[in-house]
Amino acid sequence: MSHSFCLPGPSSPLFSPMVEEANSMDKRINSSQEAEVRKGPWTMEEDLILINYIANHGEGVWNNIARSAGLNRTGKSCRLRWLNYLRPDVRRGNITPEEQLLIMELHARWGNRWSKIARQLPGRTDNEIKNYWRTRIQKKVKHGESFDYQHVMLTDEASTSTSQTNSVEDGGSQPSYTEQHETNPDALAPQFSTESSDNFWSVEDFWSMQSLNGD
């Protein structure tokens, strides 16, 4: 199968700000210890490498993927990034009222079995559900002693239409990708971010592009 993504090379203008950052980090790493693995936020380059590698070779042993793809990351880190963010079927953005109700019902039944709960919500990840529960629902449960599904849903729907809407769809916390737009606004290659705005490419765009390339 040929799933090549036509990745822009590291010298591409698209990557320059990010690569600079990565390089400076690499320098620090290389100067201290060659084999030290990278931690912290993923760069766009790393994402593309991982996506491209898995598209070509499929999933496998994560430590091998990390090594073979040339990513200076642990297999664990690659797996997490793939499952929570890069997978083509991962749904991002607003949790619908239906999903919220389901989460609450399943949590009432199973407790903090996030992965189990996530399996009932196609495209949602355990991490996302866990975060959602802790930041939205648990907070409300704490404040209002009596746990009223209906109330939680109604109030959260309101917040969904305001703050939550921008949490992911406007890029959320992916500053490292969008920053480059500032430093390199005229980059020829498409921007890659989670934003759905006109000027940026989202992960979804990337995968639809991939399917257009005829895999």
Name the residues that contact DNA, by CB under 7 A: 38-42, 60-64, 73, 75-77, 79-81, 84-85, 92, 112-116, 126-128, 130-132, 134-136, 139, 159, 162-164, 166-168, 170, 172-175, 178, 194
**Angle, CA 16 vertex, CA 80 and CA 39 arms, to 5°:** 30
C-beta closer to DNA: residue 165 or 211:
165
Cα–Cα distances (Å) from 68 to 27, 121, 127, 206, in that order, read 21, 32, 26, 22
- The set of long-range contacts for 177-181, using a CB threshold of 8 Å and a minimum separation of 24, is 177/18, 177/44, 179/17, 180/14, 180/16, 180/17, 180/18, 180/44
C-beta closer to DNA: residue 119 or 215:
119
Question: For the residues of 70-104, what is the DSSP string, one character each?
Answer: T--S-HHHHHHHIIIII-TT---SPPPHHHHHHHH
C-beta closer to DNA: residue 16 or 84:
84
C-beta closer to DNA: residue 11 or 32:
32
Query: Least distance from C-beta 79 to DNA, angstroms?
Result: 5
Query: Least distance from C-beta 53 to DNA, angstroms?
Result: 14
Structure tokens at 3: 């799933």
Phi, psi at residue 192, to the nearest 5°?
A: -130, 110
C-beta closer to DNA: residue 57 or 130:
130
Query: Least distance from C-beta 212 to DNA, angstroms?
Result: 25
Query: Least distance from C-beta 214 to DNA, angstroms?
Result: 29
Query: Least distance from C-beta 97 to DNA, angstroms?
Result: 16
